[in-house]
């Protein structure tokens, strides 16, 4: 299993802030995103938007990063703090 | 080196006393010759709309790591002798303070530059998101290209 987190506008669009996702073997961030969209087709537009950022275990990563069981993967829109 | 500097990062709902935070940094060592500071506050309007209140959400855990890394980098690049970054989260009203950056160095140039660098990086790298409540409805604040350009200068 991995923990998947969604924040801000993306969290609202998906109607979910967190879920546990079964991950049997190592996969890329892009693989996980595709699997999520296969399970929840209504998430396609929001989750696959070009400006969605990803963090793996709280570090910014790109779509090729490798996800392992036990990891924490976050999807979120561009940041607007300060 | 930044490794000898006292660097403080704080994220939470609590308000801050900028004067007290500046005094704490200034008192760290008598090698300090300049202290720069910046306060970010909530505006009462944005893009022509009146903003009644704002909520600010973050990614607990990652936020503190991201800010810590930004402050470490600033400390190393400008030989800071001390720095404090406080970023609040939760509900805000016009005039409320949101963020404080204090930087101390031997000379003013390093303190000014590090302070601006920390703010530019914070705005584009740290996982915070603002949602504004206005008379026309609620809106997530969109990231600005100008913020990205400001961070790219460094």
Q: How many domains does chain B have?
A: 1
Q: With respect to residue B93, please indicate whether it lies within any of the assigned structural domains.
A: yes
Q: With respect to residue B60, please indicate whether it lies within any of the assigned structural domains.
A: yes
- Domain extent, residue B125, equals 2-143
Q: With respect to residue B154, please indicate whether it lies within any of the assigned structural domains.
A: no
DSSP, res B61? T
pLDDT of residue B48: 85
With a pLDDT cut of 90, the percent of chain A lying above it is 99
The Cα angle at residue A18 between residues A15 and A22, in degrees rounded to 5: 115
Could you report the per-residue pLDDT of A21-42, keeping only the tens digit for each? 999 899 999 999 999 999 999 9
Residues 1-60 of A with CB under 8 A from B: 5, 7-9, 12, 51, 55, 58-60
Q: With respect to residue B149, please indicate whether it lies within any of the assigned structural domains.
A: no
pLDDT of residue B3: 52
Reading chain B (154 residues) residue by residue, the pLDDT tens digits are 445 789 999 999 999 999 999 999 999 999 999 999 999 999 999 888 899 999 999 999 999 999 999 999 999 999 999 999 999 999 999 999 999 999 999 999 999 999 999 999 999 999 999 999 998 899 999 998 999 899 999 9
Asked if the C-beta of A79 comes within 8 angstroms of chain B's C-beta atoms, the answer is: yes
Could you report the per-residue pLDDT of A5-14, keeping only the tens digit for each? 999 999 999 9
Q: With respect to residue B84, please indicate whether it lies within any of the assigned structural domains.
A: yes
CB atoms within 10 A of CB B12: 14
Q: With respect to residue B50, please indicate whether it lies within any of the assigned structural domains.
A: yes
pLDDT of residue B5: 84
DSSP 3-state assignment of B24? helix
Give which of B129, B137, B150 to mutate to test A binding, by max A Cβ within 10 Å.
B129
Here the ipTM equals: 0.95
**Crossing angle for the helix pair B108-125 and B145-152, to the nearest 10 degrees:** 140
B146/B129 Cα distance (integer angstroms) = 17
pLDDT of residue A14: 98
Domains of chain A: 6-76 (3.10.20.30)
pLDDT of residue A49: 96
Q: With respect to residue B152, please indicate whether it lies within any of the assigned structural domains.
A: no
pLDDT of residue B1: 46
List phi, psi (to 5°) of A7.
-125, 155
Among B129, B130, B143, beta carbon nearest to A7? B129
Q: With respect to residue B79, please indicate whether it lies within any of the assigned structural domains.
A: yes
pLDDT of residue B2: 43
């Amino acid at each position: 299993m991995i923990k998947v987190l969604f924040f801000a506008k993306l969290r609202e669009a998906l109607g979910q802030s967190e879920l546990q996702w079964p991950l049997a073997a190592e996969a890329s961030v892009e693989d996980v995103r595709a699997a999520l969209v296969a399970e929840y087709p209504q998430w396609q537009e929001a989750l696959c938007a070009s400006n969605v950022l990803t963090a793996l275990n709280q570090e910014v990563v790109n779509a090729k990063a490798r996800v392992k069981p036990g990891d924490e993967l976050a999807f979120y829109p561009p940041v607007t703090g300060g | 080196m930044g490794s000898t500097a006292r660097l403080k990062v704080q994220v939470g709902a609590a308000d801050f006393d900028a004067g007290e935070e500046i005094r704490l940094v200034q008192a760290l060592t008598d090698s300090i010759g300049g202290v720069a500071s910046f306060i970010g506050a909530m505006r009462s309007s944005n893009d022509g709309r009146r903003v009644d209140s704002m909520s600010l959400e973050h990614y607990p855990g990652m936020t503190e790591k991201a800010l810590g890394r930004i402050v470490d980098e600033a400390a190393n690049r400008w030989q800071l002798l001390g720095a404090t970054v406080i970023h609040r989260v939760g509900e805000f009203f016009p005039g409320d303070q949101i963020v404080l950056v204090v930087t101390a160095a031997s000379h003013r140039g390093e303190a000014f530059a590090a302070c601006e660098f920390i703010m530019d990086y914070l705005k584009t790298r740290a996982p915070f998101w603002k949602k504004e409540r206005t008379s026309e409805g609620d809106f997530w604040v969109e990231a600005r290209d100008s913020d990205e350009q400001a961070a790219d200068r460094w």
